Structure 1
Amino acid sequence: MPGTNAVPIICEKCHSTAVAREVLSFRALPGLLPIASMKPFEKDGVLCSICHIKRIAWLDDETKIGLCQTCYEREKELSTRDRDSQRRVEERSDAI
């Protein structure tokens, strides 16, 4: 559309899908985030420390790191998985 200033418009569902895909593309280094000490956060206007797209839902008071719900859930799941795999490695080492 040369010569026009038209902005492409997408529906809410397509926008939400694109935002979700973008948010899920970010990942912190394992063990970097203090997931266990994070508490729910209710204020508006502060963006997630990882994706910088969504508003934070969880905040660590000491480090001032805040995560949106999507990043928090992903990082919590990944940290649990990493901890479980480390425990299995240690158990195998003890058995040898």
Structure 2
Amino acid sequence: MSDEIAKVIQLFQEDPQAARKQEMHIGWEAMFLHYGQTLTDPVAAESLRAAIAMMDLLLDGSCATDLISEDQRNQLRGIMHIGLSAADEFQS
């Protein structure tokens, strides 16, 4: 198989991380729908961005006061920031 064909095949293979990210986006949207909102609404998406910014500050404070480790903070931050990409995806 040529290198060019291999590259084309790779483009069409499913990316497991992309599929997982999409599942998480659907989960974030489901939470908003549960409360009668949607991330397709710019106001709701901006509220999510504000809430995540506040949670970032709480995580930094928790880390600074040794309530959680830097690794724990980074793991939690990674999970929360999927919400930011969900807001962006539903806005586009």
TM-score by length of 2: 0.34
State which structure, 1 or 2, has the greater radius of gyration over its C-alpha atoms. 1
* Higher strand proportion (structure 1 or 2): 1
* Higher helix proportion (structure 1 or 2): 2
Q: Which has the higher contact order (CA 8 A, sep 6+)?
A: 2
